[in-house]
């Protein structure tokens, strides 16, 4: 099959949409399928990473902002319309130009600023359309829809999809790289006797508000042992990267700050506890049973966070202002070790790491 992906990353959007598409693309390529990417040249885009991973990339040009402000008036119904950077009609035409060539069997669309209007216009040059969504707030014209979030129900998309659209809903379909399934048994085994020696801190590829710095500040005031290791992971486009590096040098712990890592599964496996964002990495942590305090850093993360909290798979912080009190309370809890074990078991029961294979089987079946 030939598959094209339309997804964006930026300082505003973050990196999660492109990263999960890359995960699916790499799984497809491992089975002999050909994948290409179409992304816009936003500040903070991941074009270099996509090319580094060996995928063909069409990078759409940035828009004239004055033209955008006039032509976007009809798009106000979409809550994230400004994430696109151009009118949807212009994006559709540019995407069609990028698709000019041999027929694409599947177009995978992962973008909150695109809906059924765009999908109908672009579908004339592709075999089928698959949509990856999280928020169920707009209609789609597609053959397959994937929403990998806990707490989402298939009926949440009633009235938003064609009747024949197949809905792949829930973390059973979470798009994880194969190393997470490979490390799952090892990671779960080492959590049978929980301890707190190594903390992984990963708050998204951008972390525009520098929540990482806030977390480090709170930990510096805690009673953690000086022997505690802090493994801080950030994206290369994170605005506060240099500030965090300087902060790490004066902390009373063993701290490393890493950028653009390719061994996240190994880092999660080694972590006794994680402080992370409620994004796609949530399902990676669940697969490996990593006990987590998860931060809600965007409105579209609230629904999944509430479901994760109900399931007991993580401690959820809805507001950044609550971070210090919640983290101090958690770390000083006499039952902290038991809490780690309970969170690990609850998370591991949700995700087995085989979601990519399930999604690919549907792509092949429904072609």
Tell me the domain boundaries of the chain.
2-176+353-365, 178-348
* Torsions phi, psi for 158 (to 5 deg): -55, 130
Angle at 43 between CA 258 and CA 123, to 5 degrees: 110
**Residue 167, beta-bridge partner list:** 145
How far is it, in rounded angstroms, from Cα 169 to Cα 157?
Answer: 10
How far is it, in rounded angstroms, from Cα 215 to Cα 222?
Answer: 11
* Torsions phi, psi for 297 (to 5 deg): -110, 0
* Torsions phi, psi for 299 (to 5 deg): -55, -40
How far is it, in rounded angstroms, from Cα 315 to Cα 327?
Answer: 9
Q: Which single residue is written with the structure tokens 């693309």?
A: 25
Spans in the chain with pLDDT lower than 70: 63-77
Which CATH architecture fits 178-348?
A: 3-Layer(aba) Sandwich (3.40)
Contact yes or no for 45/76 (Cβ under 8 A) = no
Q: Where are the alpha helices (DSSP H) in 263-335?
A: 264-270, 281-287, 302-311, 323-331
Q: How do 104-110 and 126-132 pair as beta strands?
A: parallel
How far is it, in rounded angstroms, from Cα 242 to Cα 244?
Answer: 5
pLDDT at 236: 86
CB atoms within 10 A of CB 31: 10
How far is it, in rounded angstroms, from Cα 40 to Cα 292?
Answer: 33
85 contacts: CB under 8 Å, gap ≥ 6: 40, 42, 62, 63, 68
pLDDT at 357: 97
190 contacts: CB under 8 Å, gap ≥ 6: 269
pLDDT digits (tens, 9 = 90+) for 131-169: 999 999 999 999 999 999 998 999 999 999 999 999 999
Contact yes or no for 85/65 (Cβ under 8 A) = no
pTM for this model (two decimals): 0.89
Tell me which CATH code domain 2-176+353-365 carries. 3.40.50.11190
Burial class (CB in 10 A: 0-12, 13-18, 19+), 365: exposed
**Residue 184: closest CA among 329, 16, 349:** 349
pLDDT at 71: 46
pLDDT digits (tens, 9 = 90+) for 63-81: 654 454 434 445 456 889 9
pLDDT at 70: 38
pLDDT at 64: 56
pLDDT digits (tens, 9 = 90+) for 214-244: 999 999 988 888 999 999 999 888 899 999 9
């Amino acid at each position: 099959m030939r598959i094209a992906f339309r997804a964006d990353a930026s300082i505003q959007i973050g990196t999660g949409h492109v990263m999960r598409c890359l995960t699916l693309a790499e799984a497809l390529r491992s089975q002999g399928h050909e994948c290409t990417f179409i992304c816009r040249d936003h500040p903070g885009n991941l074009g270099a990473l996509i090319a580094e991973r060996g995928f063909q990339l069409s990078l759409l040009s940035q828009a004239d902002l004055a033209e955008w402000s006039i032509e976007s008036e009809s798009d106000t119904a979409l809550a994230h319309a400004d994430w696109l950077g151009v009118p949807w009609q212009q994006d559709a035409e540019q995407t069609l130009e990028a698709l000019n060539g041999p027929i694409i069997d599947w177009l995978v669309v992962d973008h909150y600023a695109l809906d059924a209007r765009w999908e109908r216009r672009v579908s004339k040059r592709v075999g089928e359309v698959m949509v990856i969504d999280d928020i169920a707030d707009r209609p789609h014209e597609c053959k397959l829809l994937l929403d990998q979030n806990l707490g989402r129900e298939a009926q949440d998309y009633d009235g938003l999809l064609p009747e024949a659209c197949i809905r792949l809903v829930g973390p059973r379909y979470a798009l994880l790289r194969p190393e997470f399934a490979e490390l799952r048994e090892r990671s779960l085994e080492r959590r049978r006797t929980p301890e707190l020696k190594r903390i992984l801190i990963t708050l998204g590829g951008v972390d525009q508000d520098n929540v990482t710095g806030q977390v480090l500040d709170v930990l510096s005031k805690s009673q953690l042992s000086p022997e505690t290791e802090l493994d801080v992971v950030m994206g290369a486009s994170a605005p506060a990267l240099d500030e965090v590096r300087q902060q790490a040098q004066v902390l009373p712990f063993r701290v490393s700050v890493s950028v653009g890592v390719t061994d996240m599964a190994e880092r999660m496996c080694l972590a006794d506890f994680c402080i992370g964002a409620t994004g796609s990495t949530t399902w990676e942590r669940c697969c490996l049973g990593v006990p987590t305090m998860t931060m809600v850093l965007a409105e579209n993360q609230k629904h999944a966070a509430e479901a994760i909290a109900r399931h007991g798979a993580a401690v959820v912080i809805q507001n950044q202002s609550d971070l210090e009190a919640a983290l101090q309370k958690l770390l000083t809890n006499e039952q902290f070790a038991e809490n780690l074990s309970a969170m690990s078991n609850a998370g591991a029961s949700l995700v087995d790491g085989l979601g990519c294979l399930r999604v690919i089987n549907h792509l092949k079946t429904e072609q």
